[in-house]
Chains A and B, each alone.
Chain A
């Protein structure tokens, strides 16, 4: 089991560019989510998905799009990158999404927008 994988590990974008952060899990988990981690602010939920074809917004969704066409993959798209989106992005998954399930986190993608 690879667990939760994320690519790329590092990325530098110019303001206005778009890109997709990839996330995949091989544990057959229904629930997947994206967080961003900023200094002094902990992790904040961007979007989440409770299964293929179902997504919903988290705490800080603006500027990001997601889709879930398969159980395994949950890509995060930045439509027009802004310096405020400079952050470390974590993808996580859990079996059912309830509070009782452990969330498994990927290693993160460090994004810099200039």
Chain B
């Protein structure tokens, strides 16, 4: 069965420091991979997605993610974190017709 693992429940990063959020997936075919962000009290917003082609994808708000098939990973990165990036981040894999399977999320805290 398809699954997504986000091994870090919480991560604290200093403002201005770099960020990497981990995501590993289990999927039998070529995966469609997504990162969503959820700000407090809000719904989810798509940051970026990967379907095929270039394994480094750029998203909104300065985020990028790299697909590594050999490691079954799709880690999210940002070179310099801002206080407004504090939120919960979800990795998801698409398994046909919008049936997304979500990871359990990583809560990002940004310290001054």
Instruction: Please tell me the number of chain B residues within 8 Å of chain A, measured between CB atoms.
Output: 24
Known A-B contacts A4-B43, A100-B51, A105-B45; the reply to A40 vs B104 at CB < 8 A is yes
Q: Establish whether residues A42 and B41, one from each chain, have CB atoms under 8 Å apart when the complex forms.
A: no
Within 8 Å by CB of B98, from A41, A43, A48, A107, lies A48
Chain A residues with a Cβ under 8 A of chain B: 4, 31, 33, 40-45, 48, 50, 58, 90, 92, 94, 97-108
Closest to A3 in B: B43
A residues within 8 A CB of B4? 42
Chain B residues with a Cβ under 8 A of chain A: 4, 32, 36, 41-46, 49, 51, 90, 92, 94, 96-105
A residues within 8 A CB of B100? 43, 45, 103
Q: Establish whether residues A102 and B98, one from each chain, have CB atoms under 8 Å apart when the complex forms.
A: no
Question: Shortest CB–CB separation between residue A99 and chain B, in angstroms?
Answer: 4
Within 8 Å by CB of A90, from B44, B94, B98, B99, lies B44
Question: Shortest CB–CB separation between residue A44 and chain B, in angstroms?
Answer: 8
Given contacts A42-B105, A98-B98, A99-B98, 19 further A-B contacts (CB under 8 A): A33-B98, A40-B104, A42-B103, A43-B102, A48-B98, A50-B97, A90-B44, A92-B44, A94-B98, A97-B98, A99-B32, A100-B32, A102-B49, A103-B98, A103-B100, A105-B43, A105-B45, A106-B43, A108-B42
